[in-house]
Amino acid sequence: MEMQVDAAFEPLLELEMEMGALVADWPHCDQCAAYVACMVSHDRHDPIRHANLLSAALNELFEMSFHTREYNGVLTCRFYRSGPIERIELTFPCSVEQRHSYEAIVARIENGQALANYLDVITDDAARAEHAILLGLAVNYDARIELSDQEAGMTTFVVDLALERLLN
């Protein structure tokens, strides 16, 4: 299923990985995120800083797909750029229940209380890691996060990051 992308966004890179490989060799996801981030960041004002920030954010998104514990199917990660904004579209297999959980998290972000929700989640030992991950991206990276409509059994996160404008 081909995604419709805002015409203002130029395609940069696409990565595809079998979910079984991702789940079986989780420690290599950090290396993959770092490599891809370096490729995407090479022409930014401070490419090393940009790559470090992008790698950390991408690794968090990869972790979202890891938490689904889906062993079948394909993870697809597409990168786009429009001026100072990097867009990551991450598509992966996901159950209906997990999708509903993600929708609830995104709703918490959109309600304008991301920081308060993030503080609640990181101080709650019973909170699910996915909640802290997405809320953390919204708070720490000023990320705009959406869930895109997708075919049954799949989920797509659309995450816009303006990493060059971050001060810390």
CATH code (residue 122):
3.30.565.10
Q: In terms of Cα–Cα distance, which of 145, 124, 126 is closest to 134?
A: 145
Instruction: Please check whether residue 1 lies inside any domain of the structure.
Output: no
Question: Could you give the number of structural domains in the chain?
Answer: 1
Identify the domain containing residue 91 by its residue range: 12-165
Q: Could you list the pLDDT tens digit for every one of the 168 residues in the chain?
A: 344 556 689 999 999 999 888 888 877 888 889 999 999 999 998 999 999 999 999 999 998 888 787 888 999 999 999 999 999 999 999 988 888 888 988 988 888 888 888 888 888 877 778 888 999 999 999 999 999 877 788 999 999 999 987 655
CB 127, CB 136: distance < 8 Å: no
- Tell me if 41 is assigned to some domain: yes
Query: pTM higher than 0.85 for the full model?
Result: yes
Does residue 150 lie within any of the structural domains?
Answer: yes
Q: Tell me whether residue 2 is in a domain.
A: no
Q: Is 6 part of a structural domain of the chain?
A: no
